Structure 1
Amino acid sequence: MALKIKRIYEKPGETDGERFLVDRLWPRGISQEAARLTAWLKDLAPSTGLRQWFGHDPGRWPEFQERYRAELQNPAKTELLRKLADKATHGTVTLVYGARDEARNNAIVLQDLLEQYLKADKA
């Protein structure tokens, strides 16, 4: 069982397992073939309004996380998250993102939320 995050600009690795792009926009300069994705989960990405508001401003990171988590409470998104968590119990899941900031991006929020689901399922 493994849950990882990785920039799409990093070369896909043998240990990535299933790779899921979690951005709303396709990353510039990356072909679908080079991305080697299992699926593109646009529906799990932050809304366009939230993404534009955040603008990768580090000062907005705490509020971005709160707003994004609120968006993810939508039942359809919760179902997708549960399916990803289930996949992570059976193998490696890599959440792929395009942001330059490796410390503050939506994949980090998703990874944390999925890890919470996995812990709850074990309890």
Structure 2
Amino acid sequence: MSVRVRRVHEPPEPDDGLRVLVDRRWPHGMAEDAAEIDEWPRTLTPSAELREWYHAGEGDYAEFRHRYEAELAEPGSAALLDGLRESARTGPVTLLTASKNPRHSHAAVLAALLST
């Protein structure tokens, strides 16, 4: 199973496989055709409330991760997550984010969950 996280502003690579944008909003300054996105499951992104809470500096990454995993356990999100997990079993999946720190972002949480 191959799941990786990359910044959406980096050029596509041949071994990216399925390219999935995991941000709720379209990346600033990115043309749609340049991104080469295969899927954009917006409901897998953190809720607006959680995103605002985390970016306001009210909590740490561990607490953000815990809250986000709870959101992903909801039936609609869990079904989408299972679908991406199945895609990862059949080929590489690259999760794309505009986050400046992908290692401490929701994309890293998704990658960890998809790899299980």
TM-score (norm 1): 0.89
Match in the other structure for 1:23: 23
Distance 1:29 1:40 in 2: 17
Q: CA RMSD in A?
A: 1.5
Aligned pairs for 1:32-71 within 5 A: 32-55=32-55, 57=57, 60-71=60-71
1:81 maps onto 2:61 in alignment: no
Q: Specify which structure has the bigger relative contact order, considering alpha-carbon pairs within 8 angstroms and separated by 6 or more residues.
A: 2
Letter in 2 for 1:3: V
The runs of 4+ residues in structure 1 deviating greater than 2 Å are 56-59
The answer as to whether partners of 1:56 and 1:101 remain within 8 angstroms in 2 is no
- Pairwise CA distance, 1:3: 1.0
Q: Which secondary structure does the structure 2 equivalent of 1:5 belong to? A: strand
Distance 2:49 2:112 in 1: 22
| Compared CA separation, residues 9 and 57, structure 1 to 2 (3 A) | farther
Match in the other structure for 1:2: 2
Deviation per CA, 1:67-87: give whole Å up to 9, x if none: 000100111111111110111
- Pairwise CA distance, 1:27: 0.7
The answer as to whether partners of 1:22 and 1:40 remain within 8 angstroms in 2 is yes
Deviation per CA, 1:31-69: give whole Å up to 9, x if none: 110110101111100001100110074962111001000
| Compared CA separation, residues 109 and 58, structure 1 to 2 (3 A) | farther
How much identity, in percent, do the aligned residues show?
A: 39
Which runs of 5 or more residues in structure 2 are unaligned?
none
1:92 maps onto 2:83 in alignment: no
- Pairwise CA distance, 1:110: 0.3
Residue-pair matches, total: 116
- Pairwise CA distance, 1:103: 2.0
Which runs of 5 or more residues in structure 1 are unaligned?
117-123
| Compared CA separation, residues 59 and 75, structure 1 to 2 (3 A) | closer
